Structure 1
Amino acid sequence: MVAKTFFGFEEILEKELMQLGAQNVVKGTRSVSFQGDKGFMYKANLALRTALKIVKPIHTFKAFNEQTLYNGIQKIDWSDYLKVQQSFVIETTLYSEQFTHSQFVAQKVKDAIVDQFKAATGERPSIDKDFPDLRIHIHIDRDFCTVSLDTSGVSLHQRGYKTATNIAPINEVLAAGMLLLSGWDGNGHFLDPMCGSGTIVAEAAMIACNIPANINRKEFAFERWMDWDSELFDKILDSLLKKTKEFHYTITGFDKAPSAVSKAKDNIENANLSDYVTIKQGDFFESEKEVEGPLHIVFNPPYGERLNIEMERFYREIGDTLKQNYPGTNAWFITSNLEALKFVGLRPSRKIKLFNGKLEARFVKFEMYAGSKRTKFNNRVEE
């Protein structure tokens, strides 16, 4: 099988798969391949935090033109995967000089499948782009065609707990990957001081308590497959839930906007995480550290792409607030505004290249040592 992910998350996805018990794990670009049985396929979809989708290859062949593509698809016995009364959809990824049009390739593959059913039964399965019983993925790299079944369905970032979103919400898989890259493991206090709709604190709580990432999802694609085993799925889910753990610290999210606070509270409640996460209204720039001991901060400040704010001043205030009010803190944040990053006034100890959607971003770490807090008088003198 192949688990797909974002650029920069390949190593942590590889680690996740190995910890789950996958065999023959091989890291690729934006993907990690592995081996596992049907039960492991269920387990991977339920538990992986940094996977966007998991596909299961069923056939590979050489395709030089439309006829060899058609013939290769016809060599698969589609009655093993699909009943004539069911529906399917074709998704394509093309890296080929011979095949350059996704729609054309999808049409040819559809024809090959439909013709096979017509020849055998006189009937044909239908196409359903929204709620198909089978999602078929065609990957053509030069003249090499891989046919896979999509085990997940809609992207695994759609966890199922987020019903309300704020302006510029962060993707759940991106949030989880950032948390794992930052070293968050639940052994300490956590804060997101610009929490928006609560995605980062929700993912932080699930990591801290070892709660399966996709426990709140309504459906996976494999639940419509002919070999769907609900008893095995329940057994896998029960085994994962037995591995959840208690959390003895605090996870807090606050936001300046009352609308964001309301949405975040709803989402945390939807995720059944209210026992672990506190959401409140507050302005980061007027806040200070409220807990004893180390504090782990991860947040997603505005980039200026969708929010109209004065970037230079805003990022300078981020640096000043961390420096003056948050001693003994590891603070991480992501931004695609690389120019604004210069105004933070602190030297990052780590800088990791990621993408937030199509925006190239940097995930940066600032270490605020205890005892480095300056008084307002000294700060004013220096300025």
Structure 2
Amino acid sequence: MENFKMIAKTLFGLEEVLAKELRNLGAQDVQTGVRMVSFVGDKGFMYKANLALRTALKILKPIHSCRVYNDKSLYSGIQNVDWSQYLDVNDSFVVDVTLNSDHFNHSQFVALKTKDAIVDQFRDKFGKRPNIDKDFPDLRINVHIHDEQCSVSLDTSGSSLHHRGYRTATNIAPINEVLAAGMLLLSGWDGQGDFLDPMCGSGTIIAEAAMIACNIPANINRKEFAFEKWSDWDNDLFEKIEDSLLNKTREFHYTITGYDKAPSAVEKAKNNISNANLEDYIIIKHENFFETKKETSGPLHMVFNPPYGERLDIDMERFYREIGDTFKQGYPNTNAWFITANLEALKFVGLKPSRKIKLFNGKLEARLVKYEIYEGSKKAKYNNPNQ
């Protein structure tokens, strides 16, 4: 099988994490950009990347590039592709557009021009044309224009890869699965210890934590990928790749726990964990974090997504002060990470974060912060490194 270039799209701040994932999977020529990582692999690796990558939103396969500066140059650039290689006249397609150009300011216009160029080519060749289907197309085409550079790609994934397939019930402000996995990997979570999400909501972070701990492929529960509708779809190869990934799963000998004070959230989390077939690894409890103490004797790894005050009416100053107090009083020997877009509220935690990583939660600029809570005082920790 021949190798070709692919592009994995991701969220801001997760580019290096995704590049590391790709290298670990066996990708060649891995190069990071902004919100994307390019790499080289064959068709089997394309299947593998879609199944296994935790921090990729989409895998694109570039097929053409050209310079565009007006609607005519765009039309002729798209017409320079032999679309019958990828589409049958009876197939359906859709065009997704990403723009960053002074020449074009409306993605809908670019999508329309691209569609015209493709259907005109079919009409001229075959006297009939493929249809547009926005919901279930046979081919999803991605057009990316940056300044005058236009890249045309086939979308191998279909719907965003954060749609893992296990989350049917969500709470207020659920976290994107790709962001959750990225936060966990940035925090250094590798499954070699006990884990707690003290405000677990619908269970996304604990589900992703369990899949990382057990090396379960991120998208094993997904119903479909776009490449399954392509003319060169190889079901035997796909099943072989799937089996080889599942053979690399590992045992997990620690605890993963989720708390939430809302009974409805606990119920939703349990349903989602069950959908993901992860009940053997995860305990979910109806608890108010601020009334808890650490349950394990060894080191604890904590990652969570507290409310920011965007969609929930909370006294932020008091809430974030309680986070800090609970850390100090109840959670010695813990590495605690959380994400927040309420940068003002961080002042009230009353502890100094040892790390701050800029990320975005949706459109909100956020920080992933780390607090190291020591056993006893910090000074004692340094005086007695074995403590």
Look up the match of 2:124.
119
Distance in 1, Cα, partners of 2:119 & 2:112: 10
Q: Secondary structure at the match of 1:43?
A: helix
Distance in 1, Cα, partners of 2:174 & 2:152: 33
Measure how far apart 1:372 and its partner are.
Answer: 4.0
Segments of 5+ residues of structure 2 without an aligned counterpart are: 1-5, 379-387
Distance in 1, Cα, partners of 2:219 & 2:188: 21
Do the aligned residues in 2 keep the contact of 1:298 with 1:331 (CA within 8 Å)?
A: yes
Distance in 1, Cα, partners of 2:327 & 2:146: 48
In the alignment, is residue 342 of structure 1 matched against residue 351 of structure 2? no
Distance in 2, Cα, partners of 1:27 & 1:333: 25
In the alignment, is residue 95 of structure 1 matched against residue 100 of structure 2? yes
Measure how far apart 1:68 and its partner are.
Answer: 2.0
Distance in 1, Cα, partners of 2:100 & 2:307: 35
Look up the match of 1:160.
165
In the alignment, is residue 109 of structure 1 matched against residue 117 of structure 2? no
Look up the match of 2:150.
145
Q: Secondary structure at the match of 1:333?
A: strand
Distance in 2, Cα, partners of 1:367 & 1:92: 43
Distance in 1, Cα, partners of 2:239 & 2:110: 37
Identity of aligned residues (%): 76
1:4-61 CA-partner distances (Å, limit 9, x unpaired): 1111101000000000000110000010000111000000000000001111100111
Distance in 2, Cα, partners of 1:128 & 1:189: 46
Look up the match of 1:236.
241
Look up the match of 1:224.
229
Q: Within 5 A, what are the aligned runs for 1:37-48?
A: 37-48=42-53
Structure 2 counterpart of 1:179, one-letter code: L
Q: Within 5 A, what are the aligned runs for 1:56-75?
A: 56-75=61-80
Do the aligned residues in 2 keep the contact of 1:57 with 1:148 (CA within 8 Å)?
A: yes
Structure 1 counterpart of 2:352, one-letter code: R
Distance in 2, Cα, partners of 1:101 & 1:335: 32
Task: Select the residue among 171, 174, 183 that pairs with 2:188.
Answer: 183
In the alignment, is residue 320 of structure 1 matched against residue 325 of structure 2? yes
Q: Within 5 A, what are the aligned runs for 1:345-364?
A: 345-364=350-369
Distance in 2, Cα, partners of 1:311 & 1:204: 27
Task: Select the residue among 303, 313, 323 that pairs with 1:308.
Answer: 313
Look up the match of 1:8.
13
In the alignment, is residue 131 of structure 1 matched against residue 127 of structure 2? no
Measure how far apart 1:64 and its partner are.
Answer: 2.9
Task: Select the residue among 283, 291, 296 that pairs with 2:301.
Answer: 296
Measure how far apart 1:226 and its partner are.
Answer: 1.0
Look up the match of 2:39.
34
Look up the match of 1:270.
275
1:316-366 CA-partner distances (Å, limit 9, x unpaired): 110000101000100001111111110000111111111110111111111
Look up the match of 1:248.
253
Do the aligned residues in 2 keep the contact of 1:138 with 1:146 (CA within 8 Å)?
A: yes
Measure how far apart 1:288 and its partner are.
Answer: 0.4
In the alignment, is residue 279 of structure 1 matched against residue 284 of structure 2? yes
Number of residue pairs the alignment of both structures matches? 373
Task: Select the residue among 204, 207, 212 that pairs with 2:212.
Answer: 207
Distance in 2, Cα, partners of 1:152 & 1:368: 41
Q: Secondary structure at the match of 1:338?
A: coil
Distance in 2, Cα, partners of 1:283 & 1:21: 43
Q: Secondary structure at the match of 1:367?
A: strand
Distance in 1, Cα, partners of 2:102 & 2:350: 48
Superposition RMSD in Å: 1.0
Structure 1 counterpart of 2:81, one-letter code: I
Measure how far apart 1:65 and its partner are.
Answer: 2.3
Structure 1 counterpart of 2:66, one-letter code: F
Task: Select the residue among 52, 58, 78 that pairs with 1:53.
Answer: 58
Structure 2 counterpart of 1:23, one-letter code: Q
Do the aligned residues in 2 keep the contact of 1:327 with 1:372 (CA within 8 Å)?
A: no
1:290-318 CA-partner distances (Å, limit 9, x unpaired): 01210000011111111111111111110
Q: Secondary structure at the match of 2:98?
A: strand
Look up the match of 1:376.
none
Distance in 1, Cα, partners of 2:90 & 2:284: 48
Look up the match of 1:82.
87
TM-score, with length taken from structure 1: 0.96
Q: Secondary structure at the match of 1:245?
A: coil
Task: Select the residue among 335, 341, 345 that pairs with 1:330.
Answer: 335
Q: Secondary structure at the match of 1:159?
A: coil
Measure how far apart 1:145 and its partner are.
Answer: 1.2
Q: Secondary structure at the match of 1:73?
A: helix
TM-score, with length taken from structure 2: 0.95
In the alignment, is residue 22 of structure 1 matched against residue 16 of structure 2? no
Distance in 2, Cα, partners of 1:155 & 1:130: 13
